[in-house]
Structure 1
Amino acid sequence: MKKIYHVEPVLESFVWAGDKITEYYGYQTTMTKVGQAYHVIALPDHLDNIISETKEHLSEFFERHPELFDCQYPIFPIRMATSCGQGLMSYHLHPNDEYAWQHEHCRGKVSGGVAILDKPNETVYKRMGHTAKTIEEFKELFEKRDFDNLLQRVEVKPNQFLNTPAGVIHSGGGSETMSVVFSTNSDITYRMYDYERDDPKRPLHLKQAFECLNMPETDLKPHDIIDEKQPGMIIHHYYSKPNEYTAKGFSINGEGTYECDQFLFILCVKGQGMIHDTAIHKGETLFIPAHFGPFVLKGEMECMSISYIEE
């Protein structure tokens, strides 16, 4: 019998956050300053979703039911979250897999996000990537806190997607914009500057950050999203790279049919509807096992999905 599973969100509070995520999704919680709602994450003893039907953590669910994932990677490989930095986030970067496995015994992190915009045709600007030609030039500008000259200002136009590779310094926040962020399953962040906030839970990691910093900087051009029109829906192809993540969006207006050989997580970000025989509402996430076969998406809703392709 084909079965779809519900994934319970995990919330995390940050000094730079507000309450927009919980208000938008209608999550019932006493937690304040929720900066991340993790819809898909599996970090044991830290951040780990619960599968409603089995009461297992996602990391356990992945280990105990390999037939549902058909995935050879030794640990659960991907994550998806809604993020909103109403205050200013730190300047930070993430290591690649090689460095992270060697020093942190876990995956590194690459990520990309799609803004949930009140004005869909709005252009977003990202402070990410540096302009320095040498590490000495980087350190000189960094020590002066001259971020206006040190950091690039990357323009992301409507219907574009920007992936953030490992080793890219970036910051964010200071706005009401929420984004759905797709990434590899890691929580390793090396902070470089945190606005002089004196918080023992938020240490700086300058040594590791300089060891991981891209020099010279990698190309950070956004690419156009491919929109695939099908009966009853439009599929938005955001990003797909083997061993990283595959991210898509679905604009459902009526009834459409979709099939994915890989396991799939689907988050509803607007509206409500049905996926196969299961209702889904804004803020809810469903897990569809690998090789599930064709299934129907029905309703008036916007959804985001993440899956994983192996080389």
Structure 2
Amino acid sequence: MYEKEPIFLEPVFKERIWGGTKLREEFGYDIPSDTTGECWGISAHPNGPSKIKNGPLEGKTLEFAWGNHRELFANEPGDEFPLLIKILDAKKDLSVQVHPDDKYAREVEGEPYGKTECWYIIDCEEGAELIFGHHAQTRDEFEKMVEEGEWDKLLRRIPISPGEFYYVPSGTIHAIGAGTMILETQQSSDITYRVYDYNRRDAEGNTRELHIEASIEVSIIPHVDPHFDPTREEKQGLTSEKLITQEYFTVYKWELDGKVSMESEEKYLLASVLEGEAELITGDQSYNIKKGDLFILPSTISGFSLEGKAHLVVSHT
């Protein structure tokens, strides 16, 4: 099963109050509405599992493949697929939010994973920014600023540019700003605690639920910028930048301009094509990959080649 064959995936789309149309305009996806905020591209999460588009498991979900064909993932242990890859189109500001760690998620929410994530900025408008961290030095100061709505004083805003990368550990207060498109690599979790939502209302005129108590419990106070050291490697026609290696994931930016042959050193690879197109060769099979394609190179593939001009973000556990 999939001895030399990649697993191509059909994404799941989520409509959001802050979403737009760039997932259609930039990637050609068939989105459900003009307020589509999230593409769950490689997902085995029960709230939005991707469907397999090719091979013997065509029509099955990635969740099914993980549960029934663990040999495709080097028999990695765990009841739940560990990662979730998204592309987000933030036409408007996302809510200010925070995610719990594994311990809190298990003990309080009964979920297997908390949510540590990272962002690759695909594109953003001039002047776009993130909320990343806060200025409170103690928990009491944090609670007081939240209670009194001193958001400009509390929240730390930073300007962003395309191609930048941000690591967002659980407990980090954050928000993606309007006019930003990112690729998000995260633990497979859908737990979000909203701290602030600009007092906006949904289509029915209702404000969205806030989770102030839980947010205060799980937030890192004071904020600490996480440390990581990207490294770059040139191999034949590929420039590979290892953006981060940490407990939950390793993430690379691949810039292909020519041809490269690679051995699969990891258990399996998750790949998102963000620009261009290329030929993927596995064994005696060849596949055309293009912007918007999302696929897994399972553990049954020991080596592969790429030829073309393309930009991918690739990850593994």
Are 2:273 and 1:268 equivalent residues in the alignment? yes
Decide whether aligned partners of structure 1 residues 156 and 262 sit closer, same or farther in structure 2, where only a CA change above 3 A counts.
farther
SS in 2 for 1:47: coil
Are 2:225 and 1:212 equivalent residues in the alignment? no
Partner of 2:88: 83
* Of 27, 30, 46, the match for 1:28: 30
* Of 173, 197, 201, the match for 1:169: 173
CA–CA distance in 2 between the matches of 1:158 and 1:35? 18
CA contact under 8 A between 1:237 and 1:248: conserved in structure 2?
yes
Give 1:130-141 correspondences, 5 Å limit.
130-141=134-145
Q: What is the CA distance between 1:301 and its match in structure 2?
A: 0.7
SS in 2 for 1:43: coil
CA–CA distance in 1 between the matches of 2:183 and 2:312? 10
* Of 284, 292, 300, the match for 1:283: 292
Decide whether aligned partners of structure 1 residues 147 and 268 sit closer, same or farther in structure 2, where only a CA change above 3 A counts.
same
CA–CA distance in 1 between the matches of 2:184 and 2:148? 31
Decide whether aligned partners of structure 1 residues 162 and 83 sit closer, same or farther in structure 2, where only a CA change above 3 A counts.
same
1:154-212 deviation digits (Å, cap 9, x = unpaired): 4667765321011111112222x311111111110001111112446931111211111
Give 1:188-207 correspondences, 5 Å limit.
188-199=191-202, 202-207=208-213
CA contact under 8 A between 1:84 and 1:173: conserved in structure 2?
no
CA contact under 8 A between 2:256 and 2:308: conserved in structure 1?
yes
Decide whether aligned partners of structure 1 residues 137 and 118 sit closer, same or farther in structure 2, where only a CA change above 3 A counts.
closer
Q: What is the CA distance between 1:125 and its match in structure 2?
A: 4.2
* Of 108, 128, 140, the match for 2:114: 108
Decide whether aligned partners of structure 1 residues 209 and 262 sit closer, same or farther in structure 2, where only a CA change above 3 A counts.
same
Partner of 1:73: 78
Tell me, which stretches of 5 or more residues in structure 2 are unaligned? none
- TM-score normalised according to structure 1 size: 0.90
Q: What is the CA distance between 1:82 and its match in structure 2?
A: 0.8
Are 2:123 and 1:117 equivalent residues in the alignment? yes
CA–CA distance in 2 between the matches of 1:42 and 1:201? 30
Partner of 1:231: 236
Q: What is the CA distance between 1:118 and its match in structure 2?
A: 7.2
Partner of 1:181: 184
CA contact under 8 A between 2:123 and 2:163: conserved in structure 1?
no
Instruction: Give me the CA root mean square deviation.
Output: 2.1
SS in 1 for 2:174: coil
CA contact under 8 A between 2:121 and 2:163: conserved in structure 1?
no
Are 2:21 and 1:4 equivalent residues in the alignment? no
Aligned residues between the structures: 302
CA contact under 8 A between 2:98 and 2:192: conserved in structure 1?
yes
CA–CA distance in 2 between the matches of 1:297 and 1:60? 28
CA–CA distance in 2 between the matches of 1:15 and 1:269? 24
SS in 2 for 1:148: helix
CA–CA distance in 2 between the matches of 1:179 and 1:272? 19
Q: What is the CA distance between 1:215 and its match in structure 2?
A: 2.1
Partner of 2:304: 295
Partner of 2:63: 59
- Which AA in structure 2 matches 1:95? P
- Which AA in structure 2 matches 1:23? E
Structure 1 range deviating more: 151-160 or 286-295: 151-160
Decide whether aligned partners of structure 1 residues 34 and 59 sit closer, same or farther in structure 2, where only a CA change above 3 A counts.
same
CA–CA distance in 1 between the matches of 2:163 and 2:201? 39
CA–CA distance in 1 between the matches of 2:279 and 2:26? 20
- Which AA in structure 2 matches 1:299? G
SS in 1 for 2:240: strand
Decide whether aligned partners of structure 1 residues 118 and 33 sit closer, same or farther in structure 2, where only a CA change above 3 A counts.
closer
CA contact under 8 A between 1:226 and 1:237: conserved in structure 2?
yes
CA contact under 8 A between 1:129 and 1:220: conserved in structure 2?
no
Are 2:157 and 1:153 equivalent residues in the alignment? yes
